[in-house]
Chains A and B, each alone.
Chain A
Amino acid sequence: MYNAKAVTIGIIIFVILFTSPFWASLLGKNYTESGITLPAREKECVESAEFMRNKHMQLLNEWRDEALRNEHRVYVASNGKKWAISLQNTCLKCHKEYTEFCDKCHVANSVDPYCWTCHLIPQGSKK
Chain B
Amino acid sequence: MLHSLLLVLLIGAIAWGGATIGLASLFGVVLPYVAVVVFVVGVVWRMVYWAKSPVPFPIPTTGGQEASLDFIKQAKYDCPTTCWGVVKRMFLEVFCFRSLFRNTLGEVRVDDPINKGPRAIYYSSKWLWAFALLFHYCFLLVFLRHFRFFMEPVPCCISFLESLDGIMQIGSPRFFMTGGLLFVALLFLLCRRMFNQRLRYLSLANDYFPLFLLLAIVGTGLCLRYCDKTEIAQVKVFIMGLTHFAPVGVEGINALFFTHLALVCVLLIYFPFSKLMHMPGIFFSPTRNMACNTRAVRHVNPWNPPKQFFTYAEYEDTYRDAMAEAGLPLEKQPEKAAQ
Interface residues of A (CB under 8 A from B): 1-4, 7, 10-11, 14-15, 18-22, 24-34, 36, 53-55, 57-58, 60-61, 104-105, 107-114
Contact = CB atoms under 8 A, between A and B. Distances in A.
Given A19-B40, A58-B172, A113-B172, A25 B150 contact: yes
Contacts of A109: 148-149, 154, 232-233, 236
Contact of B237 (A33, A60, A107, A111): A33
Contacts of B169: 114
A110 B171 contact: no
A15 B40 contact: yes
Interface string B153-174: 1100011001100000101110
Given A10-B47, A110-B158, A28 B172 contact: no
| Contact count band on B | 35 or more
Nearest to B50: A7
A36 to B, nearest CB: 8
A108 B232 CA distance: 10
B247 to A, nearest CB: 12
B236 A31 contact: yes
A32 B169 CA distance: 30
Contacts of B280: 10, 14
Interface string B226-243: 000111111011001101
A28 B51 CA distance: 36
Contacts of B171: 61
5 contacts: A10-B47, A24-B150, A25-B152, A105-B233, A109-B232
B40 A107 contact: no
Contacts of B91: none
B232 A31 contact: no
A10 B283 contact: yes
Given A14-B43, A18-B39, A113-B172, A30 B152 contact: yes
A105 B232 contact: yes
B48 interface: yes
B159 A112 contact: yes
B53 interface: yes
Nearest to A56: B172
Contacts of B159: 110, 112
A110 B243 contact: no
Given A30-B244, A31-B240, A33-B237, A108 B48 contact: no
Contacts of A30: 152, 240, 244
- A-B pairs, top 3 by smallest CB distance, nearest first, are A25-B243, A34-B233, A61-B172
A33 to B, nearest CB: 6
A4 B53 CA distance: 11
A32 B149 CA distance: 12
Residue of A24, A25, A113 with most partner-chain B CB within 10 A: A25
B120 interface: no
Nearest to A4: B51
B155 to A, nearest CB: 9
Given A1-B52, A31-B236, 4 more contacts: A26-B243, A53-B234, A55-B229, A108-B153
Contacts of B152: 25, 28-31, 108
Given A7-B47, A15-B44, A54 B39 contact: no
A2 B240 contact: no
A111 B243 contact: no
Contacts of A113: 172
A26 B162 CA distance: 22
A63 B231 CA distance: 20
B151 interface: yes
Contacts of B55: 2-3
Interface in B147-206: 147-154, 158-159, 162-163, 169, 171-173
Nearest to B232: A109
Contacts of A32: 237, 240-241, 248
